[in-house]
Amino acid sequence: MQPLPHHYTVSAEAAPSGAVTLGSSGVEPLRSDGPAEFDGPGDLWSPETLLTAALVDCFVLSFRAVARASRFEWKRLDCRAEGTLERIERVTSFTAFTVKARLEVPSGTDIERARKLLAKAEEVCLISNSLKGSHRLEAEVVLV
């Protein structure tokens, strides 16, 4: 890892209506627009889905790192994240996030160790640590 602080730059280009084009050096552009819940078309990534995606993506990448450092064998990790957006005292913000993780591990794996490593991944996830809404991990470990 490079020394901290790290800096991440993203650009946004938009016309008065239609999709916003997001860009960052070295990656393909991404189009976004408002979600259906805010009367947008709902057919592109939105700021709300991008934020929730960042959380679940960071969790998976954190688990990979934790498992690798722990020399833990696993087969597959399927995750789903849900962000809850509410309006409280005239301020709209995300109030809660839930990550549901289903980890498949080889037969004979210590399931309690697997659960601890999943919890560690949630604990070290920098996106989770950066969000002010509450966050919860629901983990399932399956022997395959």
The predicted model scores a pTM of 0.94
Mean pLDDT of the chain: 97
Q: What is the pLDDT of residue 29?
A: 98
Say if residue 75 is in the same domain as residue 30. Answer: no
Q: What is the CATH number of the domain that holds 139?
A: 3.30.300.20
pLDDT of residue 26: 97
Pair 83, 124 in one domain: yes
Q: 62 with 111, same domain?
A: yes
Same domain, 35 and 62: no
List beta partners, residue 47.
none
On whether both 62 and 73 belong to a single domain, the answer is yes
Are 19 and 76 within one domain?
Answer: no
Percentage of residues in the chain with pLDDT exceeding 90? 99
Q: Are residues 38 and 60 in the same domain?
A: no
Residues 61 and 26 in one domain: no
Mean pLDDT, residues 5-23 taken together: 97
Please write the tens of the pLDDT for every residue from 63-117.
999 999 999 999 999 999 999 999 999 999 999 999 999 999 999 999 999 999 9
101 and 58 in a common domain: yes
Range of the domain at 53: 47-143
Q: How many domains does the chain have?
A: 2
Residue 26 and residue 66 in one domain? no
Query: What does the H/E/C string look like for the chain?
Result: CCCCCCCCCCEEECCCCCCEEEECCCCCCEEECCCHHHCCCCCCECHHHHHHHHHHHHHHHHHHHHHHHCCCCCCEEEEEEEEEEEEECCEEEEEEEEEEEEEEECCCCCHHHHHHHHHHHHHHCHHHHHCCCEEEEEEEEEEC
State the pLDDT at residue 70: 98
